[in-house]
Chains A and B, each alone.
Chain A
Amino acid sequence: MISVKKVDNRPLNFLERLYLPEIARGLLVTTRHFFVNLFNPKGIPTVQYPEQTLPLPHAARERTRHRLKVRADGSPKCVACFMCQTACPAYCIHIEAAEYPDNPVEKYPAVFDIDLARCVMCGMCVEACPEDAIAMDTLEIPGGVLDRNALKLGREALLRNLAGEPSLKGASNRLANDYLKSRGQA
């Protein structure tokens, strides 16, 4: 949609061309802000992040710190298919795959690193995941650290279930479910 804004281009009148009254008006505005904020600092909308955070609007909740979901036996749901690493536009995911000796799922991520300093929080990894293993719903906003290494998340830092998980609802991996059932863990 193109919106049209009519600009009032009338020539300046004498007082305006003098500048001084206009300058005084401008000073009045800024001075008012100055004194209002000086005597009522609570009105300033600044949030002291990271000590202080705002409740997130709904759409933003799906774009918070990543987590890897965990199966009932404590293994990651991730099967190291590399789809997230492939989809990632910021190249912030690093995976190294390994093989289970017994679990018929066969493949798991021995290393799963996300460099939040590089991440652009686009959520493409979540979209790409065929196993519903990665999610960005921790409601934690990364940042506000003093050390860059604090933004590098390893596998253990990522593995986390929310309350009510793990559930088999939506679990796409038949082999994993069979395995858990056979061990009485599902």
Chain B
Amino acid sequence: MMEFYEANKDLLLFAGASAVKVLVFLNAVMGFTALLTLAERKVSALMQDRIGPNRASLFGLALNGLFQPVADGIKMVMKEDFVPGRAEKLLFALAPFFALVPVLALFSVIPFGDYVMVFGYKFDLQIADLPLGLFMVLALSGLAIYGVFLGGWSAKNNFALLGAMRGAAQMVSYEVVLGLTLAGLLMIFGSAGLQDIVRAQGRLLFGWLPAWGVVYQPFAFILFLVAAIAENKRTPFDLVEGESEIIGYFMEYSSMRFAAFMFAEFVEIILVSMLAATLFFGGWQVPYLYETGFILPGGAQLPLNHYLVSAMQVGAFAAKTVFFSWFLLVVRWTLPRFRFDQLMNLCWTRLLPLALLNILITGAVLLALGKV
């Protein structure tokens, strides 16, 4: 036993640390997702001068609706799990997993902090530091189409199938734009590893401006945001399925299977927010905060404890994520919906040429600066 331990000490340590990271990070994400379902309703309520859900209570304690996600969950579990008689039973059961699992898997490549030293060991605050993380992101988000299409097709319902067709067309189209907008970043930072990209954003331009992605590529950021919302199938691009008025691909789903699709959508919000923060807003970087503490542009220093620095970095990442999640909610409850032809038109005749133009300009500038 001890021999095995001695021989594989590093491996065991890596496995244990990874398990802890997965548990902590994914649980944080899940908890935040549950809160996000509440936030969606509360934010929309406040924007519309309403109060929002505040009745669900535990032992008479309502806490202004904090238990609403619990009540929703119980309700979902209690509902009848209906499977249409002519459905493809296996695929019908698998589709919710296809919707949820790729999204959850994506969190493994997102760095939520720099590193932390525990008992002399250095732990990266990222579940898996893949050198090609960015491509992993694009690949897995492409997989999410399976959830949509299998859900729509296996139900053997014409309306669900039509919804799935719309969804697949939309996701395939915006996938292209999403990839191309990120190409500019790739060229600038010269790495496809997300941790590398974040670290590269820790530098300063002109001695005072944080070298965040949005500074290099403001235009790509807007394109990314649009494409990501479309990829996420949220308003103003929610014509794949609109809760009350458009029949969508999961119309035959009920109970927890339906909840899985809904949950996937909210997890995607978090994912998009994290990606936006990671790629364009410095990830866990706090301006002027380095490993040893704050170093302001004037040269003033404020040395800080390593753990405090790490906590601040993780906190900064969380704050950025929360901000973008909130921003996506606000966008949803502000904008009206596109028509399908407008949606496709926007993608292929506006966003795609603009994305290509962005790459061209980025390349030209890099060439002119002699960075290639």
Contacts and interface: CB of A to CB of B under 8 A. Distances in A.
Interface of A: 20, 23, 26-27, 29-31, 33-34, 37-38, 41, 43-46, 48
B364 interface: no
Nearest to B327: A27
A33 B48 contact: yes
Given A20-B222, A27-B330, A34 B335 contact: no
A38 B47 CA distance: 9
B331 A27 contact: yes
Contacts of A45: 49
27 contacts: A23-B334, A23-B335, A26-B335, A27-B330, A27-B331, A29-B334, A30-B330, A30-B333, A31-B47, A31-B330, A33-B47, A33-B49, A34-B43, A34-B46, A34-B47, A34-B330, A37-B46, A37-B47, A38-B46, A41-B51, A44-B46, A44-B49, A44-B51, A46-B49, A46-B50, A46-B51, A48-B51
A26 B334 contact: yes
A46 B47 CA distance: 13
Interface string B42-80: 010011111100000000000000000000000000000
- From A29, A37, A38, name the one whose CB has the most chain B CB atoms within 10 angstroms: A37
Complex A-B, nearest 5 residue pairs according to Cβ-Cβ distance, in ascending order: A37-B46, A30-B334, A46-B51, A30-B47, A34-B47
B50 A44 contact: yes
Contacts of B222: 20
Contacts of A48: 51
Contacts of A43: 49
Given A27-B331, A48-B51, 5 more contacts: A27-B334, A30-B333, A33-B47, A34-B43, A46-B49
Main secondary structure, interface of A, reads helix
Interface string B33-49: 00000000001001111
Contacts of A26: 334-335
Nearest to B331: A27
A48 B333 CA distance: 23
Contacts of A37: 46-47, 49
Contacts, number: 38
Nearest to A31: B330
Interface residues on B, range: 10 to 19
A27 B334 CA distance: 6
A113 B48 CA distance: 40
A44 B51 CA distance: 7
A31 B331 CA distance: 9
A25 B46 CA distance: 18
A48 B106 CA distance: 42
Contacts of A33: 46-49
Identify which of A30, A38, A45 gathers the most chain B CB atoms within 10 Å of its CB. Answer: A30
A27 B333 CA distance: 9
Contacts of B43: 34
Contacts of A38: 46
A29 B47 CA distance: 9
A33 B48 CA distance: 7
Interface in B304-363: 330-331, 333-335
Contacts of A27: 330-331, 334
Contacts of B330: 27, 30-31, 34
Contacts of A31: 47, 330
Interface string B220-249: 001000000000000000000000000000
B191 to A, nearest CB: 30
Contacts of A23: 334-335
A30 B333 CA distance: 8
Nearest to B333: A30
Contacts of B333: 30
A41 B222 CA distance: 33
A26 B330 CA distance: 10
Contacts of A20: 222
A134 B283 CA distance: 70
A27 B327 CA distance: 9
Contacts of A46: 49-51
Nearest to A22: B335
B353 to A, nearest CB: 15
A128 to B, nearest CB: 39
A120 B48 CA distance: 29
A48 B222 CA distance: 41
Nearest to A23: B335
A48 to B, nearest CB: 8
Nearest to A43: B49
A20 B334 CA distance: 13
Nearest to A35: B46
A33 B46 CA distance: 7
